[in-house]
Chain A
Amino acid sequence: MTLSAYLVVSGILFLLGIFGALTRRNIIGILMSVELMFNAANLNLAAFNRFLHPGGVAGQCLALFIITIAAAEVVVGLALVLAINRNTDTVYVEEFNLLKG
């Protein structure tokens, strides 16, 4: 297995995340797509660490931090989704344009 294989997988994951984030109407789906993008970045970090600095652990450490932050972010995001759902009775983003300028 070479580095490029990992990077290709990670790139596919990232593009899938973007595609989901742009096309899903459901906010929960968008959150999940964002998680996909996070994981693409994590995969990148782990792969670079493994192939470029095999003795080090900086990449893994950063990936761990990102997992933690992603968890926290999902908590906040789901709380927001719940609040939105309770107030407007919808989970579709196109119907929710409260911050419209």
Chain B
Amino acid sequence: MLEHVYLIPLLPLAASLIMLFAFKESEHSPAPYVGIAAMLWCFIQSCVIFYGVAKGGIHLPYEANMEWFKLPVDIGGRSFAYSMPLGVLIDGPAAVMLIVVTLVSSLVQIYSTAYMHGDPRFRRFFAYVSFFTASMLGLVVSSNLLITFTCWELMGVSSYLLIGFWFEKPGPAYASKKAFMTTKLGDCGLYLAMLMIFIKVGSFQITQFQEFVLRGYLAPAAATFIGLGILFGAAGKSAQFPLFIWLPDAMEGPTPVSALIHAATMVAAGIYLVAKCYFVYLAAPVAMETVAWIGLATALMAATMAVVAYDLKRVLAFSTVSQLGFMMCALGAGGYTAGLFHLTTHAFFKALLFLGAGSVIHAVHTNDMREMGNLSKKMPITFLTMLIATCAISGIPFLSGWYSKDMILEKVYEHSPVMWGLLAFAAMLTAFYMFRLIFLTFTGTERDHEKFHHAHESEYPMTVPLMILAVLAVVSGAALAHNGFVSTLFAAPVLPGAKEAAEAPAWIGWAMTAGVFVSIAFSYFLYRGPEFKTAESLKSTFKPVFNMLEQRYGFDAVFLGLVAVCDGIARVSYWIDSEVIDKVFVDGWGLLMQIWAHISELFDQLFIDKTVDGFGGLSVDLGVALRVLVREGQVQEYLMYVAIAVSLIAVLILFR
């Protein structure tokens, strides 16, 4: 199965093309089954590969390349044909990501058959989802950074198409534009890093690049540049500080797409790329430290913003941003294994949370948590699965999130206790706002009676994926952490001569767990009961703080200001172009030429033409004048003139 791993990105791609071009648009189109079948096949193949890895039958990393294209190169007088390879590279993280992506995408597609039922662009939705997943899978398996970059950009396009899926409404159209532009801004950094890699290493092959760096050939300055460039790209894709502004708006897309973006594709890509290029950060401590602090800042800011949001999906979006910050911080603090572990477990419970939120929204037709309440009576399956996911993300012991978050905090403590303190606070906030979501949505009393009355549990295609994901959210952490399997699976590349960090004390894990329970209790204290008066009174007391959080620290304003400045520059440039360059240089030059043409025409008419006419007229006049000399009809006179002329010519010739 491993030798046919290239099928994993190619099958969904083929499926999406088939769905786009071979099927007619209809509300009951059979197109989704093509996509689901392709994705399930990929899932099975990924599982077989992973099983082989777990059993030890397959030795990773596995790499297979073929020639993509050749180009003639001439460097320093030596000319040769540079061959660009195209291939797959499967290591531990890739093997796990394949399972995560294919599973989540399959479940999302199954879920969407019910969720998107009756949408006028039913078939197109599934085609886009398949395409999106195919791009992500391509990024996961690629052995060549150029292909990785291509898939990265394809993912940007598909996220644009999917976030703006309901493009008739102004909100999604704006959100898709915002997401696209913001991630593009990050991609500029990645692009610069790619150029630098090719200049320095002369290859886009990840393995060659890794060997180059681990042998210490890469200068620290170049490594820092590349590291920061990749980080900037990842900050765009994974919604890190300061480019996280697009992710909360991306909620305008259909909810299954949000689940896909937040769990398996898109935002995972940034973390995954940083992990793939982890060796660069090992060689560039400055870049590594930047990764850690960016992650920490993101985790804290997003967590605080989630606390005040009332939009169900927006809370989850901020929570994703925050969790991604955790992963970044872990990677930056040297917790390569911990970061990837959290990426894996997070994918399951975040997909579950989003699909559950979709189920709730499908039932009550609103995103506002203030209009929900007591839904656990109406939607028991959704409630139970979401509760499990919430426990997992909050870090309730022995659920998946507990294992990975524990590992992250341990690594961060080893790196810097101050950072640990801040991150632990963010983790407590996570527990707080996630349980706030549960309390507001599912418990208490119904606040909007009409909406509550119409609410009902969703049908099986929606609840079954929830249950599957709930099982994974419970067991995936324990299964991967069993006997330290995760450490061998996600074995970090090591620089020669690196020393082991000090072990973190055992108490921090239990302190964290205690903190989580305290914040859950606090959340219950604030949001129990029908009207959550305590929370509201707190909100009016600390109004400026809440306002700032609801304004997302003014980041949107900053970026809009940036856009306005660019707009202003563009407008000035346009003015200069249209008013100065066009008027003065282009039109002025034209006018000058026109005047010059008039002058030459006048000159032509007055002098040149007159001269030509003058010569003609002179000959005519001369002829007329000479005729006067001749008496007509006198042959002898004619003869005389001939004789005179001949003698004149003879004289001229003789005395020349």
Report the stretch among A38-46, A47-55, A92-100 that lies at the interface: A92-100
Question: A-facing mask of B622-656, CB < 8 A → 1, else 0?
Answer: 00000000001111100110010000000000000
Asked if B634 and A94 sit within 8 Å, CB to CB, the answer is: yes
Cβ A21 vs Cβ B633 within 8 A: no
Query: Quick one: closest A residue to B635, CB to CB?
Result: A93
Query: A22 and B636: CB pair below 8 A?
Result: yes
How far does the alpha carbon of A97 sit from the alpha carbon of B636 in the complex, in Å?
A: 11
User: Which residue in A22, A98, A99, A100 is a CB contact (below 8 Å) of B639?
Assistant: A22
Chain B residues with CB below 8 A from A97, complex form: 632-634
Q: How many inter-chain residue pairs (CB < 8 Å) link A and B?
A: 23
Taking the closest CB of chain A, its distance from the CB of B654, in whole angstroms, is 13
CB distance from A44 to the nearest CB of B (A): 15
Known: A18-B643, A22-B643. A99 touches B636 (CB 8 A): no
Nearest-neighbour CB distance to chain A for B135, whole angstroms, equals 98
**How far apart are the CA atoms of A93 and B631 in the complex, in Å?**
13
Question: Is there an interface contact between A22 and B640, defined as CB atoms closer than 8 Å?
Answer: yes
- A21 B639 Cβ-Cβ under 8 A: yes
Closest chain-B Cβ to A73's Cβ sits at a distance in Å of 16
> Do A100 and B632 touch (CB < 8 A)?
yes
Complex-state Cα separation, A98 to B632, whole angstroms: 10
Asked if A56 is at the interface of the complex by the 8 Å CB criterion, the answer is no
A30: B residues at CB distance < 8 A: 636
Q: Which residues of A contact B633 (CB under 8 A)?
A: 97-101
- Which B residues are CB-close (under 8 A) to A21? 636, 639
Main secondary structure of the interface of B (DSSP, over half): helix
Residues of A within 8 A of B632 (CB): 97, 100-101
Place the interface of chain B in its size category: under 10
Nearest CB of B to A37, in Å? 11
CB distance from B328 to the nearest CB of A (A): 111
Q: Among B634, B635, B640, B643, find the residue whose CB has the most chain A CB atoms closer than 10 A.
A: B635
Chain B residues closer than 8 Å to A22, beta-carbon distance:
636, 639-640, 643
Min CB–CB distance B518 → chain A (angstroms): 134
Output the least CB separation between B352 and chain A (Å): 119
Closest approach, in angstroms, between the C-beta of A64 and any C-beta of chain B? 26
Which residues between 44 and 89 of chain A lie within 8 Å of chain B, taking CB atoms? none
Contact partners of B636 in chain A: CB under 8 A: 21-23, 30, 93-94
In the complex, how many angstroms separate the beta carbon of A84 from the nearest chain B beta carbon? 12
| Distance, CA A22 to CA B643, complexed state (A) | 9
Q: Which B residues lie within 8 Å of A23 (CB)? A: 636
CB distance from A75 to the nearest CB of B (A): 20
Closest to A18 in B: B643
Q: How far is the CA of A90 from the CA of B579 in the complex (A)?
A: 93
Complex: how many Å from CA A21 to CA B643? Answer: 11
Nearest Cβ in chain A — how far from B653, in angstroms? 16
Q: Which of B596-636 contact A (CB under 8 A)?
A: 632-636
Q: Which residue of B lies closest to A23 (CB)?
A: B636
Within residues 456 to 473 of chain B, which ones have a CB less than 8 A from any CB in chain A?
A: none
Q: How far is the CB of B175 from chain A (nearest CB, A)?
A: 99
CA distance A100 to B643 in the complex (A): 20
| Distance of A23 Cα from B632 Cα, bound (Å) | 17
| Bound-state Cα–Cα, A21 to B642, Å | 12
Least CB distance from B638 to A in Å reads: 10
Complex contacts, B640 vs chain A, CB 8 Å: 22
> For residue A94, which residues in chain B have a CB less than 8 angstroms away from its CB?
634, 636
Q: What residues of B have a CB within 8 angstroms of the CB of A93 in the complex?
A: 634-636
* Min CB–CB distance A53 → chain B (angstroms): 24
Q: A18: which B residues are within 8 A, CB to CB?
A: 643
Interchain CA distance A30-B52 in the complex, whole Å: 133
Rounded to whole Å, the gap between the CB of A41 and the closest CB of chain B is 14
- Complex formed: what's the CA distance from A22 to B639 in Å? 7
Report chain B residues within 8 Å CB of A99. 633
B640 to chain A minimum Cβ distance, whole angstroms, is: 5
The docked-state distance in angstroms from the alpha carbon of A94 to that of B633 is 8
Kindly report which residue of chain B lies nearest to residue A25, judged by CB atoms.
B636
Interchain CA distance A99-B638 in the complex, whole Å? 12
Q: Which residue of A lies closest to B646 (CB)?
A: A18
Complex formed: what's the CA distance from A30 to B636 in Å? 9
Cα distance, A23 to B643, chains bound together (Å)? 13
- Closest chain-B Cβ to A68's Cβ sits at a distance in Å of 24
| A6 CA / B336 CA spacing, docked (Å) | 127
| Residues A9-41 near B (CB distance < 8 A) | 18, 21-23, 30
For residue B469, give the distance in angstroms from its CB to the closest CB of chain A: 119
Q: How far, in angstroms, from A55 to B295 measured CA to CA in the complex? A: 122
| Cβ of B281 to closest chain A Cβ, rounded Å | 110
Q: What's the minimum C-beta distance from B639 to chain A, rounded to whole angstroms?
A: 6
Which one of B632, B634, B636, B643 has the highest number of Cβ atoms from chain A below 10 Å of its Cβ? B636
* Distance, CA A94 to CA B636, complexed state (A): 8
Closest to B643 in A: A18
Query: Once the chains are docked, how many angstroms separate the CA of A100 from the CA of B633?
Result: 4
**Nearest-CB distance from B635 to chain A (Å)?**
6
Alpha-carbon distance A22/B634, docked complex (angstroms): 11
Question: What residues of chain A lie closer than 8 Å to B643, measured between beta carbons?
Answer: 18, 22
Please give me the residue from chain A that is nearest to B630 by CB atom. A101
User: Which residues of chain B are within 8 angstroms of A98 by Cβ–Cβ distance?
Assistant: 633
**CA A30 to CA B634, docked complex, whole Å:** 14
CA distance A30 to B639 in the complex (A): 11
Min Cβ gap B589→A in Å is: 60
> How far, in Å, is A13 (CB) from chain B's closest CB?
15
Q: How far is the CA of A97 from the CA of B633 in the complex (A)?
A: 5
List of B residues within 8 angstroms of A100 by Cβ? 632-633
Closest to A98 in B: B633
Q: List 19 A-B contacts (CB under 8 A).
A: A21-B636, A21-B639, A22-B636, A22-B639, A22-B640, A23-B636, A30-B636, A93-B634, A93-B635, A94-B636, A97-B632, A97-B633, A97-B634, A98-B633, A99-B633, A100-B632, A100-B633, A101-B632, A101-B633
Given contacts A23-B636, A94-B636, 17 further A-B contacts (CB under 8 A): A18-B643, A21-B636, A21-B639, A22-B636, A22-B639, A22-B640, A22-B643, A93-B635, A94-B634, A97-B632, A97-B633, A97-B634, A98-B633, A99-B633, A100-B633, A101-B632, A101-B633
Which residues of A does B touch, CB under 8 Å? Answer: 18, 21-23, 30, 93-94, 97-101
Closest 3 CB pairs of A and B: A97-B633, A100-B633, A100-B632
